[in-house]
Structure 1
């Protein structure tokens, strides 16, 4: 398990952990460009709006954090390796017990159909990973997260490293210096997640 104090200090300094799938070794990442979600301009896609109206999914917070993180760590059809090691899982389970790590879950009946997890520190939410078992389930969870963070007054939704999926959700890359300024402002807030 990663030392919790070290982990929280790293996030406050703009770092996040990833493990090497080949040997499980932990690395601290601080990308030159950081992916963030501009919450003020976020708009759900037409498909997500349609699904929200149909009410097929129920969204819950923190009812199955371990289920979410383990689903995020599971092999995927397009990638058999994962950066989420058992050490990372154990650390985030502890952060969840401490009220710092949170899951947003999309339920389809009694099935955990998708979701995401991350850390809430001050006025920043650090999104770690997401998964889905049913189409759009993770996007529904993401939409509810953005709405929740907006309502609570969060300043930063950190998506860490840009990828095509995050781009579809509205993520943008910003330079490290701009990210650190946003992070500093967000960390000066004291906003409970729930």
Structure 2
């Protein structure tokens, strides 16, 4: 592997144009998962992804998978699921548990990199009001959800899980409804997957992604309320 740079103690990162082509987007190594460093990274479209005992690895892939809220695709079968109204919804009620479930899940991105250090770091961001979770319940049991980081008009999706059919898709529909109502412009999905493409995600070049991010990440959204209807049937 080509040499990669080490991050500085001042929460700085190299230019994303210096990210490796292989592995795609690997930009830098080192540093920590402090709130200051994580927020500085997300503002530039950089995210951590590593497995212990590796140092923290920082990524900026090209292309970048993005879901624009208006492009959400709700299939006929998913609409039927929503109309059956069999799931309850909540926001930010079980953040750490959603992360733990994502760590054990194989849906979407591989969640095995979500270790206790990641859970602790993002729970701290959650306490500060930056990280959020969408939770899907059936009969009082958490069966699906997702979590990510919100900055300005951008939401950086980190991972999702599902313990029953369509539960994570319901969580994404709920997220898009919440974000659309608040004026969010962008949901970062990081790396392309068939699962996310089926829901409306598409690829942008790194330059186009960073241009869009620069227009959204510092916005102030006056109508932002992290609230959802109690039942999934209200999403359609």
Where do 1:54-69 residues align within 5 Å? 54-69=84-99
Which stretch shifts more, 148-157 or 80-89?
80-89
Counterpart CA distance in 2 for 1:76 and 1:190 is 35
Higher strand share goes to which structure?
Answer: 1
Q: Is the 8 A contact 1:24 1:85 kept in 2?
A: no
Whether the 8 Å contact between 1:19 and 1:85 is mirrored in structure 2 is no
Per-residue CA distance 1:52-92 (angstroms, 9 max, x = gap): 11110011101100110000011549998712122111100
Runs of 4+ in structure 1 deviating by more than 6 angstroms, as ranges, are 77-81
Q: Which has the higher contact order (CA 8 A, sep 6+)?
A: 1
1:160 to 165, 170, 190: 190
- Which residue matches 1:184? 214
Give 3-state SS (helix, strand or coil) of 1:19's partner. Answer: coil
Considering only aligned residues, what root-mean-square deviation do their CA atoms show, in Å? 1.9
Question: What is the alpha-carbon distance in structure 1 between the residues aligned to residue 110 and residue 152 of structure 2?
Answer: 34
Residue matched to 1:26: 56
Higher Rg of the two aligned structures: 2
For this pair of structures, how many residues does the alignment match?
193
Query: Which whole-Å CA distance do the structure 2 matches of 1:11 and 1:147 have between them?
Result: 22
Unpaired runs of 5+ in structure 1?
none
**Residue 186 (structure 2) pairs with residue 150 (structure 1):** no
Q: Does the CA contact (< 8 Å) of 1:127 and 1:160 recur in 2?
A: yes
2:3 is aligned with 1:3: no
TM-score (normalised: structure 2) = 0.77
TM-score normalised to structure 1 length: 0.93
Q: Equivalents in 2 of 1:12, 1:4: separation in Å?
A: 12
